[in-house]
């Protein structure tokens, strides 16, 4: 794992953990009658989760590219640019 260039961090799990903290915060806000916009926090976390899903997909693609002996060339070979590149 020390040699990997991309760490396998699951960003969606991070967002899910935040969701649980938001749920706990909502309980405290309700009990203490504190003026906190929980819906705004939930919306921000939902945006984080959407971005996290995209980032996880991109990270997975990069890991596959790194494992592939042809690297970038094979990823974009469907575009027809592989001829004459790298052999």
What is the per-residue pLDDT for 45? 96
Rounded to the nearest 5°, which phi and psi values hold at 85?
-105, 125
Does residue 4 lie in a domain region? no
Residue 65 lies in a domain: yes
For the stretch 25-67, pLDDT in tens is 999 999 999 999 999 999 999 999 999 999 888 887 776 655 5
User: Contact, 56 vs 12, CB < 8 A?
Assistant: yes
Looking at residue 55, what is its pLDDT? 87
pLDDT at residue 24 is higher than 70: yes
Instruction: Specify if 51 maps to a domain.
Output: yes
Claim: this prediction has a pTM higher than 0.75:
no
Query: Does the pLDDT of residue 69 top 60, yes or no?
Result: no
Residue 21, domain extent = 11-79
Establish if 20 belongs to a structural domain: yes
- Could you tell me if residue 85 is inside a domain? no
């Amino acid at each position: 794992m020390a040699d990997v260039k991309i760490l396998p961090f699951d960003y969606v799990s991070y967002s899910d953990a935040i969701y649980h903290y938001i749920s706990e915060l909502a309980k405290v806000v309700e009990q203490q009658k504190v003026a906190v916009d929980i819906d705004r926090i939930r919306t921000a976390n939902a945006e984080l989760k959407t971005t996290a899903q995209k980032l996880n997909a991109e990270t997975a693609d990069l890991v596959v590219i790194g494992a592939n002996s042809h690297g970038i060339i094979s990823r974009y070979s469907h575009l027809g640019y592989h001829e004459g590149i790298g052999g």
